[in-house]
Amino acid sequence: MDIALLLVRLVLAGVFAVSGVAKLADRAGSRQAMTDFGVPQSLAAPFGVLLPLAELTVAITLLPAVTAWWGALGALALLLLFVAGIGANLARGRKPDCRCFGQLHSAPAGWSTLARNAVLAALAAFVVLRGYGAGPGALSWLGGLSAAGLLGFLFGLVVLGLLGIQGWFLLHLLRQNGRLMVRLQALEARLGGSAPAPSGNGSQRVAGLPVGSAAPDFGLRNLRGEEVTLDDLRAAGEPVLLLFTSPDCGPCTELLPEIGRWQEEHSEKLTISVISHLSAEENRAKVAEHGLEGSVLLQEDWEVAEPYGAEATPSAVLVRHDGTIGSPLAEGPDAVEDLVAHAVGGHAHLPMHQSNGAHAAHGEAVPAPARLGEPAPEVGLQDLEGRVVSLEEFRGEETLLLFWSPSCGHCQNMLPDLKEWEANPPRGAPELVVVSDGTVEDNREQGLRSPVVLDEGYRVSDAFGAQGTPSAVLVDAEGRIASTVAGGAPAILQLAGAGRPRTRR
């Protein structure tokens, strides 16, 4: 019995020690977790420090025999507090991020979290009920072991540690596999029960709705209970960024400070609307400190995200001021940041309003972007030598039109990869035509081998629906649009590696 008590105390001490150290290393996360669980904002910061210190104190007092009972009592009190807090939130339908072990493990609190804490509380209660002298002290017991016994004990700890790590890894692998299967099933359902595949003309499926198609309308309530429609968001005359998030999504939470900064810095260029789900209280707790209360719209069951093809969070799509889709769906924090950069910084390269204004200034109608399967608009632009380049020259082969700007930072980041692709094109790669702005000298300094044509008025960019740089669209061998507009280096390079076998280079 004494050995069993000691082992229980060691398990509890290990759990509380890891938890306390991890929380101190992630004080911002601990503070956020306090807020998520309902602790007032003014108390979240001090409690975010006091809790891990209390956990470390419990871990230390569990080891010596003279303080073990008090340590077990402290452990029981904390665990019962955790059980009560988690249970109260689950009863209200809330699943805030637990952050029980800081950045080592962060997941929405659920019934499994409640059960884990209940089991640990039962172990602590077992030690408390034994009264004083609950087993020998850890150090004195170890000191009484023979050399062989000590080695055996240490070996057992190593084995248990490895088994624990393996079990944790396997659990997370199974959870990730489950999430992937759910998403695959959703994709299959959208595609009529079959997995996505390239079409017969070699086109590639890009996430979200086709650029230029009508944006699905919606009406949702904000955190104040007021109904807001897509038309209301477009009323300012600026592009609208619909950003799909969830209070239970860790990357979404990490992105919130950036969203607040974007709203503050780019309010005159871009309207940002955060479309989330769950309760107003849960969302308010997440966004309050970032000044986003007025921007969050609540959907009940992904009824807005699904028509836009948003199956993961965070993801985002741009809606033009005329109510049409202005970008492929950006999935993940990095892709969302790239989309925002294209939408605001990209105005200086491929403007959304200035390019349309150029047509209006000459009395021309704004062209509707070409869609998948339609004949590609004619290029007819001068290259750096003054020769007019036409898409007819590339008829019979797939052609990738890359929309570019020498003054675009994202283009410069992509330039080394693009040059490497030019030097060693993969089998079946399409022909490349770079549609750029800027001067002849600036474009020559890029050092690209492929034809570069200058689209100073953004006529061709508008015709293809390219609203940011770098972006690209694939034209098939018959001169028809073979892909939606791909934005950002990864999506562009994916298009550049997909095509028919080449007959010439």
**365-370: long-range contacts (C-beta < 8 A, 24 or more apart)?**
366/462, 367/459, 367/462, 367/463, 368/212, 369/211, 369/212, 369/324, 369/462, 369/463, 369/464, 369/465, 370/212, 370/463, 370/464, 370/465, 370/481
Burial 74-106 (b: 16+ CB within 10 A, else e): bbbebbeebbebbeebbeeebbbbbbbbbeeeb
pLDDT tens profile 311-352: 888 999 989 888 888 888 888 888 888 788 777 754 333 333
Domain co-membership, 303 together with 370 = no
What tokens does 184 get?
């695959």
Task: With respect to residue 341, please indicate whether it lies within any of the assigned structural domains.
Answer: no
Task: With respect to residue 158, please indicate whether it lies within any of the assigned structural domains.
Answer: no
Containing 276, the helix (H) or strand (E) segment is strand 271-276
What pLDDT score was predicted for residue 179? 47
Domain co-membership, 470 together with 399 = yes
Q: Which amino acid, 50?
A: L
Domain co-membership, 300 together with 373 = no
For the chain, first and last CA: distance in Å?
79
| Residue (of 455, 459, 368, 444) closest to 404 by Cα position | 455
Domain co-membership, 302 together with 390 = no
What tokens does 150 get?
């000590």
| Residue appearing with tokens 């602790």 | 39
371 band by pLDDT with thresholds 50, 70 and 90: confident
Domain co-membership, 368 together with 474 = yes
Q: Which of 196-200, 301-305, 392-396, 427-431 has the weakest average pLDDT?
A: 196-200
Q: Which of 61-75, 145-159, 266-280 has the highest mean pLDDT?
A: 266-280
Average pLDDT, the chain: 77
CA dihedral 277, 278, 279, 280 (to 10 degrees): -20
State the Cα angle at 216 between 95 and 224, rounded to 5°: 45
Task: With respect to residue 257, please indicate whether it lies within any of the assigned structural domains.
Answer: yes
Query: For the residues of 81-93, what is the DSSP string, one character each?
Result: HHHHHHHHHHHTT
Domain co-membership, 312 together with 401 = no
Which of 307, 323, 339 is the last residue in one of the domains? 323
Q: Which of 60-64, 324-328, 352-356 has the weakest average pLDDT?
A: 352-356
Q: Which residues have CB under 8 Å from 298's CB, separation 6+?
A: 220, 221, 222, 223, 276, 277, 278, 279, 280, 283
Rounded-to-integer distance, Cα 501 and Cα 505, Å: 11
User: Percentage of residues in the chain with pLDDT exceeding 90?
Assistant: 17
Rounded-to-integer distance, Cα 239 and Cα 467, Å: 11
Domain co-membership, 128 together with 21 = yes
Q: Judge whether residue 114 has pLDDT over 70.
A: yes
451 band by pLDDT with thresholds 50, 70 and 90: very high
Task: With respect to residue 253, please indicate whether it lies within any of the assigned structural domains.
Answer: yes
Task: With respect to residue 295, please indicate whether it lies within any of the assigned structural domains.
Answer: yes
Report which DSSP code applies to 201: T
Task: With respect to residue 487, please indicate whether it lies within any of the assigned structural domains.
Answer: yes
Contact 242, 274 (CB under 8 A): no
What tokens does 354 get?
């200035």
Q: Judge whether residue 470 has pLDDT over 70.
A: yes
Contact 312, 331 (CB under 8 A): yes
353-359 mean pLDDT: 35
Domain that holds residue 381: 354-496
Domain co-membership, 251 together with 293 = yes
Q: Judge whether residue 75 has pLDDT over 50.
A: yes
For residue 414, the domain's CATH number is 3.40.30.10
Q: Which of 1-10, 172-181, 212-221 has the highest mean pLDDT?
A: 212-221
Q: How far is CA 252 from CA 177, 179, 205, 498, in A?
A: 21, 17, 25, 32
Domain co-membership, 318 together with 382 = no
465-474 mean pLDDT: 84
Alpha helices in 26-137 (DSSP H): 27-36, 41-61, 68-91, 111-129
User: Percentage of residues in the chain with pLDDT exceeding 70?
Assistant: 73
What pLDDT score was predicted for residue 58? 87
Rounded-to-integer distance, Cα 47 and Cα 449, Å: 60
What pLDDT score was predicted for residue 59? 86
Which of 144, 165, 185 is the last residue in one of the domains? 144
Residue 182: CB atoms within 10 Å: 11
Q: Which amino acid, 276?
A: S
Domain co-membership, 250 together with 127 = no
Rounded-to-integer distance, Cα 190 and Cα 71, Å: 55
Residue 200 CA, distance from chain mean position: 32
More confident residue, 252 or 40: 252
403-420 mean pLDDT: 87
31-40 mean pLDDT: 76
Which of 118, 144, 170 is the last residue in one of the domains? 144
What tokens does 124 get?
């602590």
Work out how many domains the chain is built from and give that number.
Answer: 3
Residue 306: CB atoms within 10 Å: 14
pLDDT tens profile 203-219: 334 467 877 788 999 99
Query: Residue 416, preceding bond cis, omega within 30 degrees?
Result: no
Q: Judge whether residue 240 has pLDDT over 70.
A: yes
| Residue (of 253, 325, 317) closest to 287 by Cα position | 253
Domain co-membership, 471 together with 367 = yes
